Amino acid sequence: MGIATSEAVIVAATSGGKKKYSLGSMLGHVLMHQTFVGLEALLQMERAGEYRQEQVQAA
């Protein structure tokens, strides 16, 4: 998350005002939501008898 946040800030800072950065992805409630989405995806894949690491990362 740190690298993605840094890159987003750099893009916004060097865009000449055309792009903005909105804080949100590093806030506690967002991180908790993303954690639950990932856990639900793992459970669904387990029930389906499948597991692929890239699917978990995309969740």
**Contact at 8 Å (CB) between 45 and 59?**
no
Residue-range domain boundaries for the chain: 25-59
pTM: 0.46
The H or E element spanning position 3 is: helix 2-13
Give residue 25's pLDDT band: very low, low, confident or very high (50, 70, 90). low
| Per-residue pLDDT reduced to its tens digit, 29-51 | 887 888 888 888 888 888 998 87
At residue 59, the pLDDT reads 44
* Residue range 9-27: mean pLDDT, rounded: 86
Most confident of 3-7, 13-17, 44-48, 53-57: 13-17
